[in-house]
Amino acid sequence: MKATIRTFLGIVSLAISTGLLAQAYPARPVRIVVPFPPGGSVDLIARVLAQRLSEQMGQQFIVENRTGAGGALGSDSVAKAAPDGYTLLVQASTLVTGPLLVSSVPYDAVRDFTAISLIGSVPLIMTVHPSVPAANLREFIAHQRADPKRYTFATSPVGSAGYFATEAIRHEAKLDILIVPYKGTAAAIADLLGGQVSALIDAIPSSYPLAKSGKLKLIAVTSAQRLALAPDVPTVAESGLPGFEMESWYGLWGPAKMPKELALRLAGEVAKAMRSQLATERLSDQGFKAAGSMPEQFSEYIVKEVARHARLVNEAKIKPQ
């Protein structure tokens, strides 16, 4: 009986201390790790989130770019950190879909992290070098079929949203085309600008400014509807691949075993931050759609996304790296 009472009191004590921790948090600066270089879509979203969380929670949220291994290095550093809420990770969908194709990642994308909140999503866009004689994806497919050796697809790292979208188009359009994965988006864009590759599917923040300036040609968007910022550009679904829809989404994670109350507190703050005027002003012209979710909802969403991408890997016979 005494042991039972002690166990009960221990549980109550833990619940109280965890609740107090969530209320007092954050008592010192919080580090948000971005496992990619500055300037990309993940970095942009993380910096907007960090600024708003700093203002909302009265403590500094500092973005740290820790790059390497296609995002695995920085992500792993968070997986190995103390689950106290002072080391967080902003990552794209590649954190959970990448391991379907890359077996060498040093963590389990579900077991080694606490899923805190879905932040939002952005459509992907397909751009081509100006020399490619196609005004839209339908024409690109026709040209590629007529001359299969002439055109190539660049992609961001294996397992990224851009990579999966490229493989999905290749599979659904039955294209015989070379896909060239790059370690980072910047290198892929550099070669696309130089004409070494023909096309790239990437998030709006990285590629759209170059298309707007005429350095690249925007020929398709991967969302279900056309973009307000490019209303004349057809969707992939309108280009002969009905039902096609794929976007890049972003989330906030912490190390595994974070206290539930702390994760819930952060999830609420994320939802508030991403619907703020700052987020709207900084991200709306990037096609960003704010989400915000509770940890349990985010975990369920991740399970569905992994299953959807696993089906594509199987159907398209994509070989893991």
Residues 132 and 211 in one domain: yes
Does residue 16 sit within a domain? no
* pLDDT of 4 above 60: no
* pLDDT of 316 above 80: yes
- Strand partners for 249: 121
Does residue 130 sit within a domain? yes
| Tens digit of each residue's pLDDT (9 = 90 or more) over 158-217 | 899 999 999 999 999 999 999 999 887 888 999 999 999 999 999 888 889 999 999 999
Does residue 15 sit within a domain? no
Q: How far is CA 179 from CA 90, 141, 198, 204, 313, in A?
A: 27, 14, 10, 20, 15
pLDDT recorded at residue 37: 84
- Residues 75 and 272: their CA atoms lie apart, in Å, by 25
Does residue 215 sit within a domain? yes
Does residue 221 sit within a domain? yes
- Residues 75 and 72: their CA atoms lie apart, in Å, by 5
Residues 183 and 165 in one domain: yes
> Domain boundary residue among 183, 206, 239?
239
* pLDDT of 6 above 60: no
| Tens digit of each residue's pLDDT (9 = 90 or more) over 136-161 | 999 999 999 999 999 999 998 889 99
| Tens digit of each residue's pLDDT (9 = 90 or more) over 13-69 | 444 444 545 678 999 999 999 998 887 889 999 999 999 999 999 999 999 999 988
- Percent with pLDDT over 70 in the chain: 93
Sign (positive/negative) of CA torsion 190, 192, 196, 200? positive
Residues 161 and 115 in one domain: no
* pLDDT of 12 above 50: no
> Domain boundary residue among 239, 270, 303?
239
> Domain boundary residue among 239, 268, 303?
239
SS percent in the chain: helix, strand, coil, step 5: 45, 20, 35
- Exposure class string for 252-271: b at 16+ Cβ within 10 A, else e: bbbbbebbebbbbbbbebbb
Domain of 277 in residue numbering reads as 27-122+248-315
Residues 87 and 152 in one domain: no
Residues 104 and 168 in one domain: no
Residues 156 and 71 in one domain: no
**Contact by Cβ (8 Å): 250, 121:** yes
pLDDT recorded at residue 104: 87
Q: Which of 205, 237, 199, 202 is nearest to 217 (CA)?
A: 199
| Domain CATH for 109 | 3.40.190.150
Residues 54 and 157 in one domain: no
Does residue 2 sit within a domain? no
Residues 225 and 167 in one domain: yes
Does residue 213 sit within a domain? yes
Does residue 295 sit within a domain? yes
pLDDT recorded at residue 21: 55
- Residues 138 and 169: their CA atoms lie apart, in Å, by 11
* pLDDT of 276 above 80: yes
| Domain CATH for 225 | 3.40.190.10
Residues 305 and 233 in one domain: no
Residues 188 and 97 in one domain: no
Residues 222 and 277 in one domain: no
Q: How many domains does the chain have?
A: 2
pLDDT recorded at residue 185: 83
pLDDT recorded at residue 198: 98
Residues 161 and 131 in one domain: yes
| Tens digit of each residue's pLDDT (9 = 90 or more) over 240-273 | 999 999 999 999 999 999 999 999 999 999 999 9
Q: Which of 266, 233, 246, 74 is nearest to 171 (CA)?
A: 246
